[in-house]
Amino acid sequence: MHDTRQREGAPVTAEAIEQAATGLRAYLPPTPLQYSSAFTPKVGCHVHLKIEGIQPTRAFKVRGALNKVMRMRPEDRAAGVITASAGNHGLGVAYAAHAFEVPATVYVPENANTFKVEAIRRLGGRVVLAGRTYQQAYVEAMRAREASGATFVHAYDDPDVVAGQGTIGVELLDQVPDLDTVLVPVGGGGLIAGVATYLKTRRPGVHVIGVEPTGADAMTRSLAAGEPVSLERVDTIADGLAASAPGALTLAIARSCVDRMITVDDAEMLRAIRLSFEWEHLLAEPAGAAALAALLYHYAPRAGERVVLLLSGANLAEDVLLRALRTR
């Protein structure tokens, strides 16, 4: 059994998430929850799709970035923000920085999704290519932060970022109060940490299931080991989930709030992208299709179970989309 009591001094609380939801309403309307008449009969349960791909940055990451920048002191904003990202978090930070007229620098791996990199630049973010992995870009960003005095906005291991991502949980309980299970894609763990914190506090009976790529399963391994595990190599088509290790904060929350982890391979995510497009006319990048892949190929729902899939993003590169559409 998970201890779902709200502990005094907890780094992220349901109240903080509700406060974030109130603040974000001025910038981001709630995203739709769509009942899937296509997938429901196929899998034998009630399937609801939480569509984060219509966010202004086409991914959920803007929630956490906006909450972080909103809560900064004006004098800290004046010094700017800096971050490291595989793409979607950088987009969120660039969007938040633009909204508050804050200088933003985003360090990305040299092989980052060019679609996302160009979108960051269009929002006014300064992009610096550094290393071949998120971790290498992160190290370079931290060095630059020390020299610049800018505030570092971590992609997932920050209480304000986690609280911002957790606002999805607030919306879910408004949109489908009787939900049973939510499947959440996991990279560094910020999204599942926020959503799980909120749901397990306000509705302890809801099952929270994380979904990782087989080639980037650091959270799965860390939970099994009972301590942080860092992968020597990450290999996945889902750049949005390509974290080599969970954060200390996100792992601690996952240990107390996440019921189960599922891993999906690249072929399963590609098929889920195709089916999402063909059956629901929804675009999903590999990270955004991970929850659907888990439901289609690994999760065995109970008859009549009310399952929510978090379609976390739709920043899909053309070559990946074409590859997905050819997948059978």
The band of 4, judged by pLDDT with boundaries at 50, 70 and 90, is very low
Per the DSSP assignment, residues forming a β-bridge with 108 are 129
CATH code for the domain of 173? 3.40.50.1100
pTM as predicted:
0.94
The answer as to whether 243 is a domain residue is yes
pLDDT of residue 10: 58
Residue 202: is its pLDDT beyond 50? yes
Q: What's the token pair of residue 125?
A: 């973010």
Residue 9: is its pLDDT beyond 70? no
Same domain membership, residue 279 and residue 295: yes
* Range ranked top by mean pLDDT from 40-54, 138-152, 314-328: 40-54
C-alpha pair distances (Å), 34 with each of 14, 47, 51, 87, 272: 25, 9, 8, 26, 17
Same domain membership, residue 191 and residue 74: no
The answer as to whether 9 is a domain residue is no
21: closest CA among 213, 257, 198?
198
Same domain membership, residue 294 and residue 170: yes
The answer as to whether 4 is a domain residue is no
Same domain membership, residue 74 and residue 18: no
121: closest CA among 146, 93, 145?
93
Q: Last residue of some domain: 131, 152, 173?
A: 152
Q: Last residue of some domain: 102, 136, 152?
A: 152
Catalytic residue, chosen from 36, 85, 276, 312, is 312
Average pLDDT value over all residues in the chain: 94
Over residues 313-325, the mean pLDDT reads: 94
Catalytic residue, chosen from 61, 68, 116, 200, is 61
276 assigned to active site: no
Looking at the 3D structure of the chain, how many domains does it have? Answer: 2
Residue 89 amino acid letter:
H
CB neighbours of 179 closer than 8 A, spacing ≥ 6? 48, 172, 173, 203, 206, 306, 307, 308
312 assigned to active site: yes
The answer as to whether 6 is a domain residue is no
Same domain membership, residue 255 and residue 125: no
The band of 328, judged by pLDDT with boundaries at 50, 70 and 90, is confident
Pairing of strands 306-311, 46-51: parallel
Same domain membership, residue 316 and residue 210: yes
The answer as to whether 7 is a domain residue is no
Q: Last residue of some domain: 123, 152, 181?
A: 152
Query: Which 3 state secondary structure label does DSSP give 79?
Result: coil
The answer as to whether 321 is a domain residue is yes
Same domain membership, residue 200 and residue 81: no
Same domain membership, residue 135 and residue 167: no
CB neighbours of 276 closer than 8 A, spacing ≥ 6? 282, 283, 284, 289, 292, 311
Higher pLDDT, residue 83 or 2: 83
The answer as to whether 208 is a domain residue is yes
Residue 241: is its pLDDT beyond 60? yes
Same domain membership, residue 265 and residue 170: yes
Q: What range does the domain containing 281 cover?
A: 14-56+158-325
The answer as to whether 49 is a domain residue is yes
C-alpha pair distances (Å), 195 with each of 17, 185, 191, 277, 327: 9, 11, 6, 26, 31
Same domain membership, residue 268 and residue 189: yes
pLDDT in tens, 277-297: 999 999 999 999 999 999 999
Same domain membership, residue 215 and residue 173: yes
Same domain membership, residue 297 and residue 189: yes
